[in-house]
Chain A
């Protein structure tokens, strides 16, 4: 199972480089941070909880094999009439795309047109995506969260101290890295208008900083810095910030998420709108990632505590 997880991580990284090769840097950035980064980490935590060996398969793989072959065959069949790769006549380059490329700078005034599409033209999709992430966080909380017990904290404290000597170098190195990680997260967050980046990636990077801290200094220590109720509130707040921007534009006489009416000058309004919604995205993404990690690790510690085999 460990190998499977590692391969999945490598797959994520290869995908990311693939996206770079296709000039989709924003997507590559997201894939690298989420596909190769956080999800590998979460899978590792799961493996740590469930054991790394597979059970004997009891089902017949033949049906699944046939289904996969049929699906694959159909996909290949579908490629026969596709437009050629990179062809300028392809419908995607003829219809909606050119409008985004040529007009977004006048209409929105943001150099990174991916951000224009993501945050403004299709801002409602992004709102939906943030809600998806929020849903995931709430789902994990509903299924995995365990009530925190004071006696566990004491035990954890003891292990924490014993680990202090073991990972001294790692701890010191990581400790110096965390501020830079968090700083970089803020850079990505606020630079999304000009280069690749934005709330999604920034949120994940920020969460990675906290998660690193939790990994080396223990969940208890991390929970003291950022407590569970606070993260939960922040995850809700992110969605609310995003939605409120939409509501304010409705009150100002526009339609939902119409940033033009947010300020006297439409371009300034667009900038303000995008800045605020990206903030909402970043908040929700970062806090949901932290919630998921807390719940996973909290669960595994709870399991260990129940088995009475703490390390």
Chain B
């Protein structure tokens, strides 16, 4: 059975999705979904251990050897990302039933879980496959389910947000498909390892350059890299709380994974960073993203909007690490992907708890919440500190590695700018803290109770993870540097 783990990772949630339709009672479906997600989480833990000890695992689907058949290929990089996705998914699901009972009508709750599982399947499928076209197929599964999940939001603006995302996402997916099509045309293969072997021969052609450009633009749309981030803030704000938490913590990571995989393993550093001016371009976009999005975040009236813009800024940090194209820079990016999932998971889930109690996430409605919901607000404070990068939190670890990587490369100004960006985070996090703790509550409003256990448990699991991985960095750093090393080892 162990040999089948790579495929089970994806087909367990996939097969569970239609099975939910047969179970049909929402409570039952929720337990089933939670069980399935937990199983995938354990599978990804096993896979990561296996990969760390014995190296890359390959699985031939249908028994056809690659490049004729489709291959699943698990290395340190994608085992790590799969762990983030399935882990966050499981923790978030603990609060799901409580949260959606208030946000989604009962006759749609079963459908919600089916879409959730499909979305999980899609992301895991993109990450684990070793075949370029298979990436596109699973990208479609994850995108279609994402559009529907976002549109299920209670606020009617969710429909418009989802429609915007649908248009941008479809353009992105089409560009990715054009890129893959052109790659196939020039090499005659879709297998990633095979592509990596055959692309250098034809790297000098204009068609391959076009393929890379289309692919990267498509991925950047999905990644919500500044200035292609328009769809993200509204989609995150108006989607159901659970969906926001799940996507904020995972979906951009999947796009970031594709960026890394195709740039480093398939096209190779020499092509992407020497032939094309990717370094300057990504560095500029990353830094601009950090500053513009953080500044915009300061002026938002809805806390969900604040953290959504903050996500765009965090993607900026990842891209700065990416643009260095060094081992240290890439490790910093991977670390930040893991750490950001923990921060945003905790923050958005805590916002979900606020939404559950007061039915709004407008900053004015936060007045007095510091006293009324002490545990939830404490979670937001710690998550916020982590976002800023205060020592003893995971945020500090990310910033530390990013700044060291920049200094290693001799990019002193970049290191300074990254630190300056953190100051902007201080401002937007402080606004929330100030409102919640120091402003007097609006008189005449009923006092609010603390969030139910169903929320507090997963929120604090994530908060404690923020602190734990901020102190004990052995596991995360080992995996991230290992993954970065393997990428530079494979690349020509």
Give the interface of A toward B (CB within 8 A): 74-75, 77-83, 90-97, 99-100, 120-125, 128-129, 131-132, 134-136, 138-139, 141-143, 145, 147, 232-233, 235-237, 239-240, 243, 246-247, 250, 254-261
Contact between A125 and B133, CB atoms less than 8 A apart: yes
Chain A residues near B137: list those with CB within 8 A.
125, 128-129, 132
Shortest Cβ distance from residue A249 to the other chain B in the assembled complex, whole angstroms: 8
CB distance from A74 to the nearest CB of B (A): 6
A255 touching B68 in the complex, CB below 8 Å, given contacts A128-B141, A132-B141, A147-B107 = no
* CB-based contact A128/B62 at 8 Å: no
Of the residues A78, A134, A260, contact of B182 by C-beta under 8 Å: A78
Residue of B nearest to A273 (CB): B62
Whether the Cβ atoms of A233 and B207 lie closer than 8 Å is: no
Q: B residues engaging A (CB < 8 A)?
A: 4, 7, 11, 14-15, 17-19, 21-22, 59-64, 67-70, 107-108, 111-112, 114-115, 118, 121, 125, 131, 133-134, 137-138, 140-141, 144-145, 147-148, 151-152, 178, 182, 184-190, 198, 202, 205-211, 213-214
Whether A256 contacts B210 by the Cβ 8 Å rule is no
Distance in angstroms between the alpha carbons of A272 and B415 in the assembled complex? 61
CA–CA, A232 and B111, complex, Å: 11
Given contacts A121-B68, A243-B14, contact A131 B187 (CB under 8 A): no
How many Å lie between the Cα of A135 and that of B120 in the bound state? 12
Docked-complex contact A131 and B207, CB < 8 angstroms: no
Q: Decide: A142 near B148, CB < 8 A? Known: A91-B188, A250-B4.
A: yes
Tell me if B148 and A96 are in contact (CB < 8 A): no
11 contacts between A and B (CB under 8 A): A81-B205, A90-B185, A95-B187, A123-B61, A123-B62, A132-B144, A138-B21, A143-B151, A240-B18, A256-B7, A257-B61
- CA A287 to CA B470, docked complex, whole Å: 50
Q: Which residues of A contact B189 (CB under 8 A)?
A: 95-96
Most chain-A Cβ atoms within 10 A of its Cβ — which of B14, B18, B115, B190?
B18
Number of contacts between A and B (CB, 8 Å)? 171
Interfacial chain B residues near A240, Cβ < 8 Å: 15, 18-19
Task: List residues of chain B with CB within 8 A of the CB of A90.
Answer: 185, 188
With A96-B68, A142-B152, A237-B18: A75-B111 Cβ-Cβ less than 8 Å? no
A193 to B192, CA, bound (A): 29
Separation in Å of the A64 CB from the closest CB of chain B? 11
Nearest Cβ distance between residue A148 and chain B, in whole angstroms? 11
Most buried by B among A82, A90, A132, A134: A132
How distant is A238 from chain B, measured CB to nearest CB, in Å?
A: 8
- Roughly how many angstroms separate A248 CA and B206 CA in the complex, as a whole number? 46
B133 contacts across to A, CB distance below 8 A: 122, 125
Given A131-B118, A131-B121, 7 additional A-B pairs, CB 8 A: A78-B207, A92-B188, A122-B133, A233-B21, A239-B17, A243-B15, A255-B59
Q: Which 7 A/B pairs are nearest by Cβ-Cβ distance?
A: A78-B210, A95-B188, A139-B148, A236-B18, A258-B63, A128-B137, A81-B205
- A70–B205 Cα gap in the complex (Å)? 19
Closest-by-CB residue of B relative to A237 is: B18
B185 touches A82 (CB 8 A): yes
Chain B residue nearest in CB terms to A141: B111
Which residues on B sit within 8 Å (CB–CB) of A233? 21-22
Q: How far is the CA of A45 from the CA of B480 in the complex (A)?
A: 51
Complex CA distance for A239 and B21, rounded to whole angstroms: 12
Which one of A78, A79, A145 has the highest number of Cβ atoms from chain B below 10 Å of its Cβ? A78
The residue on A at minimum CB distance from B105 is: A147
Cα-based distance from A132 to B122 in the complex (angstroms): 9
A256 partner, pick from B4, B67, B202, beta carbons under 8 A:
B4
- Decide yes or no: A143 and B152 within 8 Å by CB, A128-B125, A237-B18 being known contacts: yes
By a CB distance below 8 angstroms, the chain A residues around B138 are 128
Contact A139 to B115, CB < 8 A, known contacts A93-B188, A243-B11: yes
Q: Is the CB of B68 within 8 A of A99?
A: yes
Q: How far is the CB of B230 from chain A (nearest CB, A)?
A: 12
Q: Please name the residue on chain B nearest to A117 by beta carbon.
A: B68
Could you tell me the distance in whole angstroms from the C-beta of A256 to the nearest C-beta in chain B?
5
How distant is the Cα of A99 from the Cα of B188 in the complex, in angstroms?
12
Least CB distance from B208 to A in Å reads 8
* A236-B21 in contact (CB<8A): yes
Judge whether A96 and B67 touch: CB under 8 Å: yes
- Rounded to whole angstroms, the CA-CA distance of A92 and B67 in the bound complex is 13
Q: Is the CB of B141 within 8 A of A135?
A: yes
A132 touches B140 (CB 8 A): yes
Q: Are the CB atoms of A255 and B15 closer together than 8 Å?
A: no
How far apart sit A79 and B181, CA to CA, in the bound complex (Å)?
A: 12
Please indicate the chain A residues that have their CB under 8 angstroms from the CB of B18 in the complex.
Answer: 134, 235-237, 239-240
CA distance in complex: A131, B148 (Å): 15
Report B-chain residues with C-beta under 8 Å of the C-beta of A93. 188
Kindly provide the distance from the CB of B12 to the nearest chain A CB, expressed in whole angstroms: 10
Q: Are A239 and B63 in contact (CB under 8 A)?
A: no
Known contacts A78-B211, A124-B134, A135-B115, A142 near B108 by CB under 8 Å: yes
In whole Å, how far is A166's beta carbon from the nearest beta carbon of chain B?
Answer: 35
Q: Which of B114, B202, B214 has the most CB of A within 10 A?
A: B114
CB-defined contacts of B185 to chain A, threshold 8 Å: 82-83, 90-92
A236 CA to B141 CA, complexed, in Å: 15
Whether A255 contacts B60 in the complex (CB less than 8 A), given A236-B21, A250-B4, comes out as yes
